[in-house]
């Protein structure tokens, strides 16, 4: 599904250049449920943006679903995002003035799905995420967990092969966060490839495979990762004690 | 708040552009009517006094037109379609039955019917050749004169004037026709609607007059007016022995020319008003663009999400273009509606004051409405386009960044 070779990404902010990714190789097969963990600023979001064709690497090659995305036009990339990828964000990013139903319809509007089919599917998806009774609610009228479930329903609208979720539980309490991960697990079981970025080790342990990213590089050494994880847990413990 | 202010600006711009154009249009139509009222494309010629000595003759010598000058001009200037001269006598006693009024009497030729737009109402006629030859005592009366002597048609006590006898300066005349009501703004001797027109020959014997008050000439083509004016100085200066360059000897009112200049002034005014309205709308358009720019800035995250979901450039732009068009459509619609309401309200006021009559009634013609709508659409499109383009150039990665 995802095949990255020698991916490098440099942000040129004018005065300073930030090397967000340095020589990343990554393979994710269809049907995998993979989490990416790593400290803040390690390049996780950058990696996801490239995987999601929202951004292009400075160097390296990227094949999505067996096809190279190099040299594709803006419009072609938009098409790929529309048909093959579903995004879920930490901040939910629903349209505030649109209802849950309309938010789920939106990708299908861009995909020019006929109105009747669009409505039917939006309803089905919201029922699937247990929001069948919230169709006409606007984001402000929903809880964080509900908003994220609307966002997941939206990400599924065009039946994508790949779901990219950037810290989807980051803004949620542990209970609704766990419910979201349950939902991802369910999706994975029905055949969707999922790439999940997280800070949370308990979330990461629920996936098939954990990719550890640090300083823009994939670290395979389990020890290094375990040490970082331990430090992270310690910090969390201290945080809760205070 | 911002939106309502901008909508107000568009309403105001639309209102000013349509109302100003509408007033211009009304004025133009009014002038057109007036010109028709006096006579279409005629020259009116008065004799004056010489200002320059000529071949031993002193300056300050008055020129008098006698009736023979009519035939003389007709012979000398074949480019004229018709030539006429007239006598006038103001404040004559005119009586029908018990009613006596004092009004103007004109002695004229049959050509006056079409030269000066003196058309009879059905059942009557204008003066003809035989009336002139036989010095008949017949009279063609203005419609207001009819109202005063015979009553307004339909009112109690009204009698059809045609065939009735009226007395003018103590002499009995038969009424042969009544002038159709017409708009007459331009006039040189008083309105036609309160004048009694009698044969020029009858006038001469009755008032013992031999000096014409003025001549009326109608060129075959409007474009010949200048040439005819020159010719007129040539031939009349040789007939009456004055310097052809002596401008005071004759005075000529070129109704065509004045109508043409008035028209130009009007078109100029419309352009001017249109520009003012247009500028107001442009300012309003800048307001719309501003609102849209703010909207784009406020919604960058939203734009980024849409892009992530696969919105194409055009789909991102469409929303902002439509919003800008909607704002200008709301403002423009209200503006047009108010303009129509004002025009209708002014149109309903009976024309009473002189000023109103001169200004004419504001008229919103189809072209004016179309021009306004076109301008509004343009403004909506342009003021939406640039913000929309900015929206389409949002970098989704930047806008979705969340720390
Ligand atoms: N658009 C950008 N312009 C400049 N620097 C950026 C941009 N996006 C990310 N970075 C930098 O790249 C690095 C990796 O960022 P990111 O991928 O967001 O990390 P993570 O998601 O793991 O926290 C960070 O140092 C960040 O400051
Ligand atoms: Mg991140």
Give per-residue pLDDT as tens, B135-154: 999 999 999 999 999 999 88
Residue B348: its pLDDT value, please?
72
Least confident of A210-219, A224-233, B33-42, B174-183: A224-233
pLDDT confidence tier of residue A168, bands split at 50, 70 and 90: very high
DSSP helix/strand/coil, B52: coil
| Ligand 1 atom 27 nearest Cα | A41
pLDDT at A216 over 80: yes
Least confident of A130-144, B39-53, B92-106: B39-53
Between the CA of A21 and the centroid of ligand 2 the distance, in Å, is 13
Least confident of A203-212, B38-47, B236-245: B38-47
Ligand nearest the Cα of residue A17 is: 1
**pLDDT average, residue stretch A77-84:** 95
Residue A227: its pLDDT value, please?
62
B95: part of which helix (H) or strand (E)?
Answer: strand B80-96
Question: Could you read off the pLDDT of B188-204 as tens digits, one per residue?
Answer: 778 899 999 999 999 99
Residue A119: its pLDDT value, please?
96
- Check pocket membership of A40 for ligand 1, CB cut-off 6 A: yes
Backbone φ/ψ region at B373: left (φ over 0), alpha (ψ -120 to 50), beta: alpha
Q: B215 or A237, which is more confident?
A: B215
Residue B11: its pLDDT value, please?
86
How many CB pairs below 8 A link A and B? Answer: 62
| Ligand 1 atom 2 nearest Cα | A11
Please tell me which residue of chain A has the smallest CA distance to B311. Answer: A110
pTM: 0.67
pLDDT confidence tier of residue A140, bands split at 50, 70 and 90: very high
**pLDDT average, residue stretch A162-175:** 93
Interface test with chain A among B300, B302, B310, by most A beta carbons within 10 Å: B310
pLDDT confidence tier of residue B88, bands split at 50, 70 and 90: very high
What span, in angstroms and rounded, lies between the C-alpha atoms of A105 and B91? 87
Q: Is the CB of A81 less than 8 angstroms away from the CB of B305? A: no
Closest CA to A98 of B309, B329, B392: B309
Q: Which residues pair with B8 in a beta bridge?
A: none
Mean pLDDT of chain A: 90
Q: Is the CB of A110 less than 8 angstroms away from the CB of B306? A: yes
Closest CA to B359 of B38, B41, B33: B33
Between the CA of B102 and the centroid of ligand 2 the distance, in Å, is 101
Nearest to A82 among B305, B309, B402 (CB): B309
pLDDT confidence tier of residue B240, bands split at 50, 70 and 90: confident
Closest CA to B265 of B97, B28, B30: B28
Residues 6+ apart with CB under 8 A from A182: none
Q: Which residues of A36-75 are buried (b: 16+ CB within 10 A; e: fewer)?
A: bbbeeebbbbbbbbbbbbbbbbbebebebbeeebeeeeee
Across chain B, how many H-helices and E-strands are there? 13, 9
Distance of alpha carbon B289 from the chain centroid:
40
What span, in angstroms and rounded, lies between the C-alpha atoms of B187 and B218? 16
DSSP helix/strand/coil, B372: helix
pLDDT confidence tier of residue A36, bands split at 50, 70 and 90: very high
pLDDT confidence tier of residue B391, bands split at 50, 70 and 90: very high
Mean pLDDT of chain B: 85
| Chain B residue numbers touching A122 (CB-CB < 8 A) | none
Touching check for B311 and chain A: CB below 8 Å? yes
pLDDT at B366 over 70: yes
pLDDT confidence tier of residue A116, bands split at 50, 70 and 90: very high
Question: Could you read off the pLDDT of B340-356 as tens digits, one per residue?
Answer: 888 788 777 665 555 55
Residue A48 structure tokens: 């996801």
Residue B357: its pLDDT value, please?
55
Residue A150 near residue A131 (C-beta atoms within 8 A)? yes
């Amino acid at each position: 599904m995802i095949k990255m070779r020698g991916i490098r990404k440099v942000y040129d902010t004018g005065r300073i250049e930030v090397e967000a990714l340095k020589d990343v190789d990554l393979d994710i097969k269809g049907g995998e449920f993979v989490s990416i963990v790593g400290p803040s600023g390690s390049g996780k979001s950058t990696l996801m943006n490239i995987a999601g064709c929202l951004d292009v690497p400075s160097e390296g090659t990227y094949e999505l679903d067996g096809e190279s995305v190099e040299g594709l036009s803006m419009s072609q990339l938009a098409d790929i995002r529309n048909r093959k990828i579903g995004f879920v964000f930490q901040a939910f990013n629903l349209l505030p003035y649109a209802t849950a139903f309309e938010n789920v319809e939106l990708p299908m509007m861009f995909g020019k799905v006929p109105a009747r089919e669009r409505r039917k599917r939006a309803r089905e998806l919201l029922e699937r995420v247990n929001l069948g009774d919230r169709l006409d609610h606007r984001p402000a009228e929903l809880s964080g967990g509900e908003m994220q479930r609307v966002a997941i329903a939206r990400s599924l609208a065009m039946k994508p092969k790949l779901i990219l979720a950037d810290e989807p539980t980051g803004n949620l309490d542990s209970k609704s966060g766990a419910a979201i991960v349950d939902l991802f697990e369910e999706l994975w079981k029905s055949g969707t490839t999922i790439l999940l970025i997280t800070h949370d080790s308990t979330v990461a342990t629920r996936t098939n495979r954990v990719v550890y990213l640090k300083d823009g590089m994939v670290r395979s050494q389990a020890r290094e990762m375990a040490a970082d994880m331990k430090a992270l847990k310690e910090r969390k413990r201290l945080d809760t004690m205070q | 708040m911002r939106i309502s202010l901008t909508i107000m600006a568009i309403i105001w711009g639309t209102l000013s552009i349509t109302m100003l154009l509408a007033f211009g249009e009304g004025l133009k139509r009014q002038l057109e009517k007036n010109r028709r009222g006096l006579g279409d494309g005629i020259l009116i010629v008065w004799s004056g006094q010489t200002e320059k000595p000529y071949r031993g003759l002193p300056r300050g010598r008055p020129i008098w037109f006698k009736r023979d000058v009519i035939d003389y001009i007709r012979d000398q200037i074949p480019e004229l379609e018709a030539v006429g001269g007239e006598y006038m006598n103001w404040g004559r006693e005119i009586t029908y039955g018990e009613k006596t009024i004092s009004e103007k009497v004109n002695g004229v030729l049959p050509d006056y019917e079409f030269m000066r737009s003196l058309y009879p109402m059905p059942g009557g006629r204008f003066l003809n050749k035989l009336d002139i030859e036989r010095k008949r005592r017949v009279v063609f009366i203005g419609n207001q004169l009819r109202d005063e002597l015979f009553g307004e048609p339909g009112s109690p006590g009204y009698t059809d004037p045609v065939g009735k006898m009226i007395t003018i300066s103590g002499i009995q005349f038969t009424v042969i026709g009544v002038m159709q009501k017409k708009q007459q703004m331009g006039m040189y001797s008083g309105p036609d609607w309160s004048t009694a027109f009698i044969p020029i020959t009858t006038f001469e014997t009755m008032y013992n007059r031999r000096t014409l008050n003025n001549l009326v000439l109608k060129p075959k083509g409007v474009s010949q007016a200048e040439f005819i004016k020159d010719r007129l100085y040539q031939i009349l200066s040789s007939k009456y022995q004055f310097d052809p360059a002596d401008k005071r000897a004759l005075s000529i009112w070129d109704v065509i020319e004045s109508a043409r200049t008035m028209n130009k002034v009007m078109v100029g005014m419309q352009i001017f008003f249109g520009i003012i309205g247009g500028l107001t709308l442009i300012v309003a358009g800048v307001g719309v663009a501003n609102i849209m720019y703010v909207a784009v800035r406020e919604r960058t995250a939203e734009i980024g999400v849409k892009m992530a979901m696969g919105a194409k450039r055009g789909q991102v732009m469409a929303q902002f273009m439509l919003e800008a068009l909607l704002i200008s459509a709301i403002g423009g619609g209200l503006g047009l509606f108010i303009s129509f309401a004002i025009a209708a309200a002014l149109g309903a006021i009976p024309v009473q004051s002189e000023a109103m009559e001169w200004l004419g009634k504001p008229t919103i013609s189809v072209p004016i409405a179309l021009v306004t709508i076109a301008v509004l659409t343009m403004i909506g499109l342009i003021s939406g386009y640039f913000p929309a383009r900015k929206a389409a150039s949002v970098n989704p990665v930047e806008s979705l960044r969340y720390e």
